[in-house]
Structure 1
Amino acid sequence: MDSATIDYLYGLQIVSYFDAAFFTFLTWDTVANFGNEYAYIWRSPSSFIKFLYLWTRYGTFFDTLLPILRWNVAIGASSCLIVSKFQGIFTAFGIAITEAILMVRTYALYERSKNWWCFSVSCGCPLSGSVYGLPSTGQNPDSSWEKEEGLFV
């Protein structure tokens, strides 16, 4: 392997360490706050906001665990590409839900103003469409560095 590939893999390993640290912190936070979460969230009636909260709260576990598994479990190049695309879609969906939560909270702060709602939707939809509608620029699965022995081990 050349030095650029080694540097790239080293950077990915550092990112994996940060993902593991974040996963540990997320687990601790969930366990530490589960009593309050059960009392105030799980026992409340079902609603759209409750769904958004639970998705962002527990979807983050999968979003954080996927890169750790991708770089620390032996998988082939095609499986790695599938996991990478799924992770990208899952991350984009999580960001969109977080944006929706912020819009709803701001809507509540503006005392459910229809003017604000129309403004935020008219700005938010084109922006979201331009960001999430862009074509994927994923890596070529036939590139030479992915064929190196032991890369996915």
Structure 2
Amino acid sequence: MSDESTFDPAWRLQLVKYFCAASLTLQGYDWLICLDREIDMIWLRPWRGVKVLYLLSRYIPFVHLGAALYYSVNLLCSPWLTYGYLILQGLLPLESSCQKAAMLVLRTYAIFNCSKKILVFLLAMLAVLVGVAFPTLVAFLRSVQFSQPPTGMINGCYPVSASKIIFVAFIAILLFETIIVALTVYSALRYYTRDSGPMIKVLYRDSLCFFFCIFSITLVNVLVAALLPNDSADLLNRLQASIHSIVSTRIIFHLRQELHADLDMGPMSRANAVTMSLHFAPADGRESYELSR
């Protein structure tokens, strides 16, 4: 075996480890700089749906990234560790995708004045997404084959083959996100005016920003998985999880900060923290959607 043939896989896997460590560092840094806002806007508030979504979006990636980093530096290659890691790395991204899809559904539902038709349509699309992604992920995990590393420079088990069926899940996610942004743009063109309130402007701005961030990283991740060898296929998976988490939490912060500014109350302390709700009430008297404060 030539030096080049042994160096290339070792270099690629080392690059994957660097991206994993960098993603965990980015996640931790963002958590630290936002900790004061998290305490004031999340932990001091009652338990509501938005709070649960925030906590899942913020802390599940720490489990995902931490497990990936531990596996990447582990010197042992045992079947139970390898397949346990695969299951964890499959279920956590699926949960993360469902959580972010739920956030997109709620925000789009609010933008459309709590239209029940839109809600039914979005929930049906979400059910299709989960119905496609879950069996696809199971089939992909069953197809992954490992072997001993070609060189002692590589720790752990070495992936040698995997099915390309995982692209079906990626395409389903991209289509779902494209439908969401199309609905957002349609709503903006139909309802948005210069006289729209600050909350509505933040809602539209963050919706489009959120979409372009996650769509871009998902698309690049698909291209990387398609074009690079199997040992580099998950090069951007951890970075994608980190970026999704950061953007999701920023959206919640921006909405609550704008509501805070609209009420002109100034920063809240522990002593005077109160509970507020943002209501999206349609003009025709239909059921309103509440975003807890």
Report TM bin, short chain: 0.7 to 0.9
Contact 2:10 2:151 in 1 (8 A): no
Task: Pick which of 36-45 and 13-22 moved more.
Answer: 13-22
Equivalents in 1 of 2:126, 2:64: separation in Å?
24
Measure how far apart 1:94 and its partner are. 1.0
Measure how far apart 1:10 and its partner are. 2.3
CA 1:148–1:8: 2 relative to 1, 3 Å: closer
What's 2:95 paired with? 93
Query: What do residues 31-55 of structure 1 show as CA deviations (whole Å, max 9, x unaligned)?
Result: 1111111001111110122111101
CA 1:21–1:126: 2 relative to 1, 3 Å: same
Query: What do residues 2-34 of structure 1 show as CA deviations (whole Å, max 9, x unaligned)?
Result: 765653342222121112112112111111111
Equivalents in 2 of 1:14, 1:146: separation in Å?
16
Contact 2:13 2:154 in 1 (8 A): no
1:64 maps to 2:65: yes
SS in 2 for 1:105: helix
What's 1:43 paired with? 44
Share of identical aligned residues, percent? 25
Equivalent residue pairs, number? 151
1:77 maps to 2:78: yes
The amino acid that maps onto 1:140 is: Q
Structure showing greater radius of gyration is 2
What's 1:137 paired with? 140
Equivalents in 2 of 1:130, 1:46: separation in Å?
31
Unaligned residue ranges in structure 2 (runs of 5+): 157-293
Query: What do residues 52-90 of structure 1 show as CA deviations (whole Å, max 9, x unaligned)?
Result: 110110111111122211111223231122112211111
RMSD: 2.2
CA 1:112–1:148: 2 relative to 1, 3 Å: same
Higher strand share: 2
Equivalents in 1 of 2:112, 2:5: separation in Å?
51
1:8 maps to 2:13: no
CA 1:132–1:107: 2 relative to 1, 3 Å: same
Name which structure has the greater RCO, CA cutoff 8 Å, separation 6+: 1
CA 1:118–1:69: 2 relative to 1, 3 Å: same
Higher helix share: 1
What TM-score results when the alignment is normalised by the length of structure 2? 0.47
Task: Pick which of 15-24 and 34-43 moved more.
Answer: 15-24
The amino acid that maps onto 1:39 is: D
